[in-house]
Structure 1
Amino acid sequence: MSSPNITLKKRLLFILGVFTFFTVILVVRIGWIQIANGQEYQQKAYEQQTNNRTISPKRGTIYDRNMKPLAMSGSVETITIDPQIVRDSGMEADKVAAGLAEILEMDKDTILKKINKQSQYELIKKKVDKEVGSRVRQWKKDNEIGGIFIDEDTKRFYPNGNIAAHVIGFTNIDNDGIDGVEKMMEQYLKGIPGKILSEVDASGMELTMGEEKYIQPQDGNNVILTIDETIQYFAEKALEKAIADNNVINGGTAIVMDPRNGEVLALTSKPDFDLNNPRAAPKGKDASTWTGTSVEDVQYLQKTVWRNKAVVDTYEPGSTFKPVTSAAGLEEGAITPETQVTDATVKIAGHSINCWKPNAHLHETFREGVYNSCNPVFVRLAQQLGISKFYSYVKAFGFYQKTGIDLPGEAGSIIHTKPTEIDMATASFGQRFQITPIQLIQAYGAIANGGNLITPHVVKEVVDDSGNVIKKFEPKVVRSVISRKTSDTLKDILKGVVDVGTGKNARIPGYKIGGKTGTSETRENEQLLVQGKNKRYIVSFSAIAPTDNPVICVLVVLDYPDVYNPGGGMLVAPVVGKLIDEILTYKGIEKEYSEDDKKLLKQEVQVPDVKGKTVSEAIKLLKQNKLEYKIEGSNTDLNATVQEQTPKTTAILHENSMVILYTYKPKNEAEAMVPNVKNKTIDEATQAFKKAGINIVINGTGTAVSQEVDAGKTVKKGSTVEVTFRNIFED
């Protein structure tokens, strides 16, 4: 039997052991909390004791290559609330909601629901104009309401509307880039948000004596593009006019690239959209029912106006691909420019391949075969090369891979993986496979620059606000495709295509332009014919200029022109020619006129003022200015005084144009009926207009296809009427 002292000691030891055990556990737990998870709990305590509001950084500016702003951020404000503080401010929640709703043009019930929430932060409205923010600030002060915060924010603006829309892209309400360069360069443009931190008690109320801490946002960096705003404008207007003039149903695309470094100077796709309102109802949609945010609306936008046809659409290039076949043949020594060839029908696998011309050119040099765009010539050349060698060049020119352009959504080509001889035959002249426009202009860049395939790109560099370069995007040479000798030979041949071949409508006196037309039918033809519509064609023209020292490659593609003659040489070549003229003139490249160019030129002269002079003096002055005359009225006395003239002084006319002289003061100037000169040559049309006493303004060469004033209408004698002439080619 144990003594009472021993029992007591045992009990005390037990209690001490239990106490020690729990003490150790508590110490370990406290140590775990303080040491292992100390930082986490410290952060939670800090968050509980502070209330923070985000300050959006200023998104970086996007500039063109000449530092003209294309996308910029303006100062706006964001309205937020702390619901608990608002409710404790003394004014009824319903009245607070009503006041804010009136200023912000919002639904009162939406704001009221947020005021009644059990939270410390609720967003009321983003991107509020400064003037509206000031009104909220004054209203809050006048009514002594706490818990309403008006904080700095930024909003994206695009000063040029729809110019370069598919290149620049746009942002969402949170200033996140969701298309174009805005998306691709998000990491550089975005910046780092700042914060406003204020101390609060356990219930979330701001402490009266608490400090407010402002953490400055870090603005985004600026992006400089390779795009030239002026050249972009030229390309946009040229494409818009071509689409309107030819009733193009599915829009089109135009690309201008510097072949020396792959820099894209202009890229446009139509239809397009206003960057300041990218979700607006597209043409043909009812604006009253359109939201721009529903799944259906967004899908429609993505398929139409948001679609960058230059990068995400594939098409059959048609004859614009023939220079690739030519390059392969010249590089391999299978052909020379002067090799005699024939364009007689080629029969392969039960198919007959003919020249586009009903009466074939038959025997010609290879150079002439390219000028005339004879399909059989290219089929026979491909056969000489063989399937393996021919497709090795197709691959080398980049048609089996994406270009890697720094724009989103680039499509890959749809091209033969196990080609047969008939596949090769049709591919030799650009049919029955599909590529993107950006792939084609990349290939033309290699032909132009001496043989190097270079990755096209739209971003030049990233800089900070001080101009320091953060990142520079250097040209990337993918591979060497052909020799400089082949490049020079092919450029000379392509110049002949424009000078005397199917691309003649692109000719601009003074500039050496090389290029190739293209026309292809789509596979939708049967369906269109059932609907009673014209066949759907895609027409294009791809060019290099100047051919002796190329600084630009230009490609224009029109998808489904609804006109009688859909040929690329007819519809697109003059568009590209005029565009090249504008670009090279803008870049300060002087014209060098050959003897043939001089024959095409008609010197412009200013009409002198002959009113008040005698007829004899007027005639002498007009002849000095290389102008002709016609006296209107019965008085033909050389000493009679000229009372009126048409055109008036300072008007600009071509040499040998006519000025009407009046020896009396006419109440109404004499009029003449405009003749019908459609399908006439330039000489025939000129004579017809001269006979009528009307001056002709000649646009282009070849045969008259349209006239500014319809035949049968009357105009003042001596006035001018523009007539458009084109060389008619089917290819």
Structure 2
Amino acid sequence: MKRQPNDITKISHNVKLSFRLLDGKFVALILVFLFASGAVVNHFYHLQILQHDVLAAKAANQQYMTHTESPRRGMILDRNGYPLVLSTYVYRVGMTPRDVATRAKSISDEDIVEKMKQHLGLDDESCALTLEQIKTDRVTGWMGLKKHLAGHNPVPYIAIASEVPEIEAMALKDWLAVNGVGGIRFDAEERRVYNNGNLGSPLLGMTQLVDGKLIGVSGLEASYDALLSGEPGYTFAKRNNYTTKGVIPFSSPVSRPVEKSHHLVSTLDLEFQSILQEELLTAASAAGLTRGVNGLVMEVKTGNVVAMAQLAPFDASDPTALPLGFTEEHWGALSSDEKTNYLIANLWKNTNITDVYEPGSVFKAITLAIGLEENVAWEQTIFHDDPIKIQGEEISCYTRQGHGDETLRQAFYLSCNPVFVQLGERVGQDLYYDWIRKLGFYGRTGIDLPAEAVGLLHAKPMPIDFANLTFGESSSLTAIQLAQFFATVGNGGYMVTPRLGCAATEDGIDVMESFPLNESPQMFSNDTCARVRLMLRDVVRQGTASGTFGGIGLKIGGKTGTAIDANDDERRTFSFVGLVPYDEPEYVVLVSIHKPETSITLSTSAARAANRIAARILNTRGVKQNYSQEELSYLSRTVELPDFSTMKIRDAALQLIMLDLAPCVPTDQFYLDQPCVSISPASGSHVGRGSTVWLYPDKANEVEWVAVPDFQGRNYHECVWLAAEYGVTIAPVGTPQGPSLAQDIAPTSSRALAAVDKETGSPSSAGDSELDASGKVRRGQVVKVYFTQVPQSGAETGQGGDH
């Protein structure tokens, strides 16, 4: 049958429509294919390009094993090689119970657990559980299959003990290795050991464990972190994933050796540091303070800081422990934030470099040096101390009546403000501030400790700002900045950079690499410095720092300072910076007492502490006192201890300071607001000037027995220092113009030997109640020391003395 044209047209239309539909599906298919391909390509791009490093590391971790070996952190030594800080390890010990086994037939599971008990300090219950876990998880065969089907799976790891000392962990590890015992794991954690408690803790600093490595976060630990840390070493080897899980036999590991850490040799002297901290505690007790007292000792020629301390110190091994002066109840009542804020503000920072304060009249030494160097005045230049009015403010002498006409030398040791305003005006404001900038007071000293503050001085000073600065007010400096200036005066005009690190060593101080000293520019002429030092001597001999026990018989010079905080109820800060000896200085000694709670009103309080520090250090180095007849007469007279039963500890301490004695309050009972319940020696006792007297807020103290030292051959001051070190006091007999000749209570060692010879348990003389069987005496016992006359009998064997 012949098709009609309409049929042909319809077929053609259907064909075209089919092709159109086919084209649409094809295009859709192509689009789907392209989209899927794009997704695959994008995924491969993401895997191979963007995640290449991550995936490559994971692959390498499956094929290779990495062993890291970290060096032990270096020690921090004092300048004589004594370790102040060192590292040890504590261990976490754990086990994979099913792997705890040995091929040694003589060693049972019970033996292994017993050895763990011996070295890890496990109790019986822990031992029983450990043994049961080992036996349970090691079951194999049919019983093991039954337990597995019942849902019991072996434990992959169990912690056994933590904080295990290195010596115990290594002893156990060695025993396990010798007997072929596996399945027990030792994870080491490095810890810092601070050998001297809170001595020098803000200087030494703290560390923090980050990713298994100790990092210094403050003090020398932070400043010299790279030197102390070294660099870890790595070993890369192909992993055997089928048998031992160890290294594939005969493979070639790739290693990067450990870069050994170094020990830091510091400039600190442990003995000087102890002296400084003891004297700061004494000053703090008389000021009624548990914080806000700081000091330092620095060599003038090198800038080496040999001692630096503050109140309150903290135990770097336990920096959040109970602070000085707090009871457990008082500390426990504070919130966590309050505790943290107190610790940060008062303990953990190094106030000698982080805190600024008005230096007061100490700054007059700077104005003096500038004036002499610029030759605008000399020692005998006459000034008048009438009040000066600048921009509506009156500047007058601290005495109401003033001194009238006086020389520059007199104005310096009398600390007269108007004279130094006039001296500054002679220099001129622009030139004066050029000197202040040149001396570094607008910046930092560059000491090798973190967080050093800058001086706070006016950027665009007005005339009144300039006038106030000439005598140390309306501007603030750090203690280390003041010490740097006095070192400049002490060494002939060269500005040294303070430092606490002086060398690095891998072994000891005999083989070490010294750090070079920074080049010191000369600021003042040697002549100017010598003239300033003579006037510093006058301050201690006849000025505002005169009459201190430490200053007797020695060449000490310095300047006192008092600053008043108008924003804090007119509370005062007292300071003293000295040079010893003044003619050929070796050390700068600085002490600051901030806002005391007692009625201390003179900066002599800081001078008393600083001069005792200076005297003890000089005596330690073999420098002897040269007493005048007036001084000998003063030292030969004893002091009768008053009754403190109605006083608080801080008020009793202040009264002792005013009597030229040294109060000592135990640091674990440093409760200065509590009543003085007990005193040793007892009230009414006669003791020598400068002696230490112990104050207690609690009468329930146990009797403390101390040894008696041998005073023979020492001068008066050396006897006082030695007595305090042992815990006794002295009373001089005769004029102490030479070395001591005898004592009424023999040294403990000789009496103890005599007691053994007699085969008796205690002395048989009249004073037996104050002596124990070993020949010791009660803390605070008064020992008579003879200087110019020796009794006919009993000088070495008698038991007399005031108690």
Counterpart for residue 73 of structure 2: 59
State which of 348, 361, 366 in structure 1 corresponds to 2:403. 361
Counterpart for residue 547 of structure 2: 505
- CA deviation after TM superposition for structure 1 residue 47, in Å: 2.2
Counterpart for residue 77 of structure 1: 91
| Cα shift readout 1:472-494 (whole Å, capped 9, x = no counterpart) | 32222453221111101010111
Task: Please give the residue correspondences for 1:139-538 in structure 2 after superposition, counting only pairs within 5 Å.
Answer: 148-173=184-209, 174-194=213-233, 200=239, 206-207=244-245, 217-248=258-289, 250-283=291-324, 284=326, 297-465=339-507, 471-506=513-548, 508-526=551-569, 535-538=570-573
CA 1:312–1:156 in 2, change beyond 3 Å: closer, same or farther? Answer: same
Alignment partner of 2:214: what SS?
coil
What TM-score do you get using the length of structure 1 for normalisation?
0.68
Alignment partner of 1:509: what SS?
coil
Counterpart for residue 598 of structure 1: 629
| Cα shift readout 1:391-418 (whole Å, capped 9, x = no counterpart) | 1222222211111101111111111110
Task: Please tell me the residue identity of whatever aligns with 2:313.
Answer: D
1:412, 1:79 → 2: CA distance?
49
- CA deviation after TM superposition for structure 1 residue 603, in Å: 9.4
CA 1:346–1:285 in 2, change beyond 3 Å: closer, same or farther? Answer: same
Query: Is the 8 Å Cα contact of residues 202 and 347 (structure 2) preserved in structure 1?
Result: no
Task: Please tell me the residue identity of whatever aligns with 1:170.
Answer: M
- CA deviation after TM superposition for structure 1 residue 349, in Å: 1.1
1:420, 1:215 → 2: CA distance?
63
Counterpart for residue 577 of structure 2: 542
Query: Is the 8 Å Cα contact of residues 255 and 268 (structure 1) preserved in structure 2?
Result: yes
CA 1:470–1:295 in 2, change beyond 3 Å: closer, same or farther? Answer: farther
Query: Is the 8 Å Cα contact of residues 55 and 152 (structure 1) preserved in structure 2?
Result: no
- CA deviation after TM superposition for structure 1 residue 470, in Å: 6.9
CA 1:42–1:68 in 2, change beyond 3 Å: closer, same or farther? Answer: same
Task: Please tell me the residue identity of whatever aligns with 2:495.
Answer: L
Counterpart for residue 576 of structure 1: 610
Query: Is the 8 Å Cα contact of residues 69 and 159 (structure 1) preserved in structure 2?
Result: yes
| Cα shift readout 1:172-195 (whole Å, capped 9, x = no counterpart) | 234211111011100010123356
1:300, 1:123 → 2: CA distance?
37
CA 1:215–1:399 in 2, change beyond 3 Å: closer, same or farther? Answer: closer
1:480, 1:511 → 2: CA distance?
28
CA 1:119–1:366 in 2, change beyond 3 Å: closer, same or farther? Answer: farther
Superposition RMSD on alpha carbons, in Å? 4.9
| Cα shift readout 1:194-249 (whole Å, capped 9, x = no counterpart) | 568786555x9843785698987544101001111111111010101110122125
Task: Please give the residue correspondences for 1:553-592 in structure 2 after superposition, counting only pairs within 5 Å.
Answer: 553-569=588-604, 571-591=605-625
2:214, 2:232 → 1: CA distance?
11
* Structure 2 residue 694 is the aligned partner of structure 1 residue 655: no
Query: Is the 8 Å Cα contact of residues 515 and 543 (structure 1) preserved in structure 2?
Result: yes
Task: Please tell me the residue identity of whatever aligns with 2:468.
Answer: T
CA 1:192–1:589 in 2, change beyond 3 Å: closer, same or farther? Answer: same
Alignment partner of 1:549: what SS?
coil
1:128, 1:668 → 2: CA distance?
53
Task: Please give the residue correspondences for 1:113-152 in structure 2 after superposition, counting only pairs within 5 Å.
Answer: 128-130=164-166, 133=169, 148-152=184-188
2:514, 2:171 → 1: CA distance?
44
Counterpart for residue 720 of structure 2: none
CA 1:83–1:206 in 2, change beyond 3 Å: closer, same or farther? Answer: farther
2:600, 2:333 → 1: CA distance?
40
Query: Is the 8 Å Cα contact of residues 287 and 598 (structure 2) preserved in structure 1?
Result: yes
- CA deviation after TM superposition for structure 1 residue 273, in Å: 0.4
1:497, 1:296 → 2: CA distance?
43
Query: Is the 8 Å Cα contact of residues 81 and 123 (structure 1) preserved in structure 2?
Result: yes
- CA deviation after TM superposition for structure 1 residue 42, in Å: 7.9
Query: Is the 8 Å Cα contact of residues 171 and 178 (structure 1) preserved in structure 2?
Result: yes
1:602, 1:374 → 2: CA distance?
31
1:292, 1:135 → 2: CA distance?
43
| Cα shift readout 1:651-672 (whole Å, capped 9, x = no counterpart) | 8524279xxxxxxxxx999xxx
- CA deviation after TM superposition for structure 1 residue 101, in Å: 12
The range that moved more, 288-297 or 306-315, is 288-297
Counterpart for residue 701 of structure 2: none
CA 1:201–1:257 in 2, change beyond 3 Å: closer, same or farther? Answer: same
- CA deviation after TM superposition for structure 1 residue 76, in Å: 3.3
Counterpart for residue 10 of structure 2: none
Percent same amino acid at aligned positions? 29
- CA deviation after TM superposition for structure 1 residue 169, in Å: 1.0
2:286, 2:392 → 1: CA distance?
40
Query: Is the 8 Å Cα contact of residues 553 and 631 (structure 2) preserved in structure 1?
Result: no
Alignment partner of 1:505: what SS?
coil
Query: Is the 8 Å Cα contact of residues 453 and 478 (structure 1) preserved in structure 2?
Result: yes
2:327, 2:620 → 1: CA distance?
38
1:117, 1:377 → 2: CA distance?
90
1:720, 1:198 → 2: CA distance?
77
Task: Please tell me the residue identity of whatever aligns with 1:538.
Answer: T
Where does structure 1 lack aligned partners over 5 or more consecutive residues?
Answer: 1-28, 527-534, 608-648, 658-666, 670-694, 698-717, 722-731
- CA deviation after TM superposition for structure 1 residue 583, in Å: 0.7
- CA deviation after TM superposition for structure 1 residue 602, in Å: 4.2
CA 1:473–1:207 in 2, change beyond 3 Å: closer, same or farther? Answer: closer
2:334, 2:179 → 1: CA distance?
38
Task: Please tell me the residue identity of whatever aligns with 2:440.
Answer: G
The range that moved more, 293-302 or 482-491, is 293-302
Alignment partner of 1:352: what SS?
strand
Query: Is the 8 Å Cα contact of residues 409 and 535 (structure 2) preserved in structure 1?
Result: yes
The range that moved more, 271-280 or 401-410, is 271-280
| Cα shift readout 1:422-468 (whole Å, capped 9, x = no counterpart) | 00111111011111000010011111111111110010011122768
Counterpart for residue 630 of structure 1: none
Query: Is the 8 Å Cα contact of residues 382 and 390 (structure 1) preserved in structure 2?
Result: yes
- CA deviation after TM superposition for structure 1 residue 128, in Å: 3.1
Counterpart for residue 704 of structure 1: none
Query: Is the 8 Å Cα contact of residues 340 and 366 (structure 1) preserved in structure 2?
Result: yes
1:247, 1:117 → 2: CA distance?
65
Query: Is the 8 Å Cα contact of residues 237 and 247 (structure 2) preserved in structure 1?
Result: no
2:381, 2:98 → 1: CA distance?
89
